[in-house]
C-alpha cells in the first residue's frame, strides 16, 4: 500500500425523486438570446450544447386545487460573466404563487412583476422562498462546482408563460464581477421593448 493522498466518495442523497413522471433537460440551445454575452454563447455552443438545468416533474391534473411539484437542478457554469440559469417564466394564470425550498447548493431567484418591481433573493439549503402571484421567476446557480437543487410547488392551474420573458429577459442579471457576484441591470432590457 503506497503512502499517497487518496479520495473516495461517501454517497450523499442525489435529490432525484425516487418516482417522477417527466425528466426535462434544458440545454444551451434552448436559451438562445437569453444570455447577455452572445459571442460567449456562440463559442460554447460551437463546442457543446451544454446541459444547463434539469427538472423532475410529478404529474397531476392541471386543475385548481391540485398542486404540481418537482425538483429543479441548475448546474454550475457561466456564459461570459453570467451564471447558468433557468429560462424563467410568468404563470399563464398570473394570479398564482409558487413556493421553492432550497435543498442544496447556492444561488439566487430573480423575480419581477408586470409593474416593473424587481427582487433578487438568495437561495441556500433550508431557505423557503415564496414567489407571490404575478411575479416572474428564474433561478440562477452561483456555485463553482455544486448544483442548485430546489423543491418547487405551484397550483395545478398555473400554466406557464415563457414568451414574455423571452422577448428581452429579466430586468436584472446575476453575473460574476471583479469583486464577486453582482446583480446588475440587464443592458438588453428597455422600456421601449416592453
Q: Which residues bind a second copy (CB under 8 A)?
A: 13, 17, 58, 60, 64-67, 69, 93, 95-99, 101, 126, 128, 130, 132-133, 151, 153-156, 158
By beta-carbon proximity to a second copy, the closer residue of 40 and 58 is 58
In the complex, what is the shortest distance from the CB of residue 69 to a second copy, in angstroms, rounded to a whole number?
Answer: 6
DSSP string, 135-185: -EEEEEE--SSS-EEEEEEEETT---B-HHHHHH--SEEEEEETTEEEEEE
In the complex, what is the shortest distance from the CB of residue 121 to a second copy, in angstroms, rounded to a whole number?
Answer: 13
CA distance 12 to 114: 40
In the complex, what is the shortest distance from the CB of residue 70 to a second copy, in angstroms, rounded to a whole number?
Answer: 10
Cα–Cα distance list, 24 to 40, 73, 101, 122 (Å): 25, 10, 19, 24
By beta-carbon proximity to a second copy, the closer residue of 17 and 80 is 17
By beta-carbon proximity to a second copy, the closer residue of 82 and 106 is 106
In the complex, what is the shortest distance from the CB of residue 166 to a second copy, in angstroms, rounded to a whole number?
Answer: 23
By beta-carbon proximity to a second copy, the closer residue of 83 and 152 is 152
By beta-carbon proximity to a second copy, the closer residue of 14 and 38 is 14
Phi then psi for residue 30, to 5 deg, are -75, -10
| 150 CB-contact burial (10 Å; exposed 0-12 / middle 13-18 / buried 19+) | buried
By beta-carbon proximity to a second copy, the closer residue of 69 and 81 is 69
150 Cβ neighbours under 8 A, 6+ residues apart: 71, 72, 100, 101, 102, 103, 123, 139
Helices (H) and strands (E) in the chain, counts: 2, 13
In the complex, what is the shortest distance from the CB of residue 2 to a second copy, in angstroms, rounded to a whole number?
Answer: 35
Question: Cell 444570455 sits at which residue?
Answer: 35
Task: Read off the C-alpha cell for 94.
Answer: 398570473
In the complex, what is the shortest distance from the CB of residue 11 to a second copy, in angstroms, rounded to a whole number?
Answer: 14
Amino acid at each position: 500500500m503506497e503512502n499517497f493522498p487518496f479520495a473516495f466518495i461517501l454517497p450523499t442523497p442525489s435529490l432525484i425523486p425516487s418516482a417522477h413522471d417527466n425528466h426535462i433537460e434544458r440545454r444551451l440551445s434552448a436559451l438562445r438570446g437569453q444570455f447577455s454575452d452572445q459571442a460567449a454563447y456562440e463559442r460554447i455552443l460551437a463546442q457543446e450544447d451544454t446541459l444547463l438545468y434539469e427538472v423532475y416533474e410529478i404529474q397531476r391534473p392541471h386543475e385548481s386545487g391540485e398542486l404540481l411539484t418537482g425538483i429543479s437542478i441548475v448546474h454550475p457554469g457561466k456564459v461570459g460573466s453570467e451564471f447558468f440559469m433557468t429560462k424563467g417564466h410568468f404563470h399563464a394564470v398570473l394570479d398564482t404563487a409558487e413556493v421553492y425550498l432550497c435543498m442544496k447548493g447556492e444561488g439566487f431567484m430573480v423575480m419581477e412583476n408586470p409593474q416593473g418591481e424587481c427582487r433578487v433573493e438568495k437561495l441556500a439549503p433550508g431557505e423557503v422562498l415564496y414567489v407571490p402571484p404575478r411575479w416572474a421567476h428564474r433561478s440562477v446557480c452561483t456555485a463553482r462546482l455544486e448544483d442548485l437543487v430546489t423543491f418547487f410547488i405551484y397550483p395545478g392551474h398555473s400554466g406557464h408563460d415563457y414568451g414574455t420573458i423571452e422577448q428581452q429577459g429579466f430586468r436584472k442579471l446575476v453575473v460574476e464581477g471583479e469583486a464577486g457576484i453582482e446583480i446588475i441591470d440587464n443592458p438588453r432590457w428597455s422600456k421601449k421593448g416592453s
